[in-house]
């Protein structure tokens, strides 16, 4: 079964190179580019999908040569499937930045209940696929590295506020905040992760502020306050 493949990009420095590699091997892939707002961009994908299930590849996602979008199982329409992805800064391997498989019927859930993390909120079930499909090449500039880490650390901290016994989120958050300084833009990644964690902790009783994690313009405005010498104190 051949499913639609969508390349979802928004000003990622590595997007053009990743897109060229994608269409060289998978010429039926389509690109959704430069739509402000994560939910609006995903909604455009859902509106454009023709196959029952479809893949989404993020703009900063570099596919590994041996990944061919093969689905060796029968996908269920109420489940979001996420392939493993390697983080080049801290070497974590999990769903962050990974290739995702959605069902078209999830469109209404996207409209009805906008969430901070789309992949974990649309389906009744969330299923990790153990195959490592890609490397998330988010660490291409100070801002992109900082923003990506801020957002992911914030999401992991939200998971811990909801379930303090979530050991996976606890371990991953610790690594985001402590490991990778020697890698390209690793210092900015560490600063972003610490700032994202601090932001959620400061606003743990104000979940209405959590949506800032998906507001790229808000994050861009916040970034100039960050310095490479010290972590940013929790904003708001």
| Domain-embedded: residue 61 | yes
The answer to whether residues 68 and 163 belong to one domain is: no
pLDDT number for residue 231: 53
The answer to whether residues 49 and 112 belong to one domain is: yes
Per-residue pLDDT tens digits for 207-228: 999 999 999 999 999 998 876 6
Containing 116, the helix (H) or strand (E) segment is none
> C-alpha 184: how far from its chain's center?
19
The answer to whether residues 30 and 69 belong to one domain is: yes
The answer to whether residues 151 and 89 belong to one domain is: no
> C-alpha 36: how far from its chain's center?
15
The answer to whether residues 193 and 114 belong to one domain is: no
- Please choose, from the candidates 95, 31, 88, the residue with its C-alpha nearest in 3D space to the C-alpha of residue 59: 31
The answer to whether residues 31 and 132 belong to one domain is: yes
pLDDT number for residue 107: 93
The answer to whether residues 153 and 82 belong to one domain is: no
The answer to whether residues 35 and 61 belong to one domain is: yes
pLDDT number for residue 235: 52
pLDDT number for residue 124: 83
| Domain-embedded: residue 201 | yes
| Domain-embedded: residue 213 | yes
pLDDT number for residue 200: 97
Q: Which residue has the tokens 């609006």?
A: 40
> C-alpha 25: how far from its chain's center?
23
Beta bridge partners of 99: none
| Domain-embedded: residue 233 | no
Bridge-based pairing of strands 100-103 and 53-58 is antiparallel
Containing 91, the helix (H) or strand (E) segment is none
Containing 23, the helix (H) or strand (E) segment is helix 15-25
The answer to whether residues 146 and 132 belong to one domain is: no
Contact 233, 194 (CB under 8 A): no
Tell me the residue range of the domain where 88 lies.
4-136
| Domain-embedded: residue 232 | no
Give the total number of structural domains in the chain: 2
Contact 111, 43 (CB under 8 A): yes
What's the CA gap between 152 and 157, in Å, rounded? Answer: 9
Contact 96, 119 (CB under 8 A): no
The answer to whether residues 16 and 128 belong to one domain is: yes
pLDDT number for residue 230: 56
The answer to whether residues 107 and 216 belong to one domain is: no
| Domain-embedded: residue 217 | yes
| Domain-embedded: residue 112 | yes
pLDDT < 70: residue spans in the chain: 227-236
């Amino acid at each position: 079964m051949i499913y639609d493949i969508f390349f979802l990009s928004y000003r990622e420095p590595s997007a053009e190179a990743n897109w060229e590699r994608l269409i060289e091997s998978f010429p039926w892939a389509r690109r959704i580019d430069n739509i402000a707002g994560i939910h609006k961009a995903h909604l455009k994908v859902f509106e454009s999908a023709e196959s029952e299930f479809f893949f989404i590849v993020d703009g900063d996602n570099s596919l590994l040569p041996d990944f061919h979008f093969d689905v060796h199982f029968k996908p269920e329409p109420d489940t979001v499937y996420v392939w493993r992805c390697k983080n080049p800064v801290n070497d974590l391997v999990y769903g962050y930045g990974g290739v995702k498989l959605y069902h078209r019927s999830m469109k209404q859930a996207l409209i009805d209940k906008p969430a901070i993390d789309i992949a974990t909120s649309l389906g009744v079930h969330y299923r990790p696929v153990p195959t490592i499909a890609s490397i998330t090449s988010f660490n291409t500039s100070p801002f992109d590295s900082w923003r990506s880490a801020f957002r992911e650390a914030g999401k992991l901290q939200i998971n811990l506020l909801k379930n303090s016994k979530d050991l996976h989120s606890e371990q991953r958050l610790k690594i985001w905040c402590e490991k990778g300084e020697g890698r390209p833009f690793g210092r900015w990644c560490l600063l972003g992760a610490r700032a994202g964690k601090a932001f959620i902790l400061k606003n743990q009783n104000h979940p209405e502020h959590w949506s800032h994690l998906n507001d790229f313009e808000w994050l861009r405005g916040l970034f100039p306050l960050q310095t490479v010498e010290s972590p940013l104190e929790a904003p708001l």
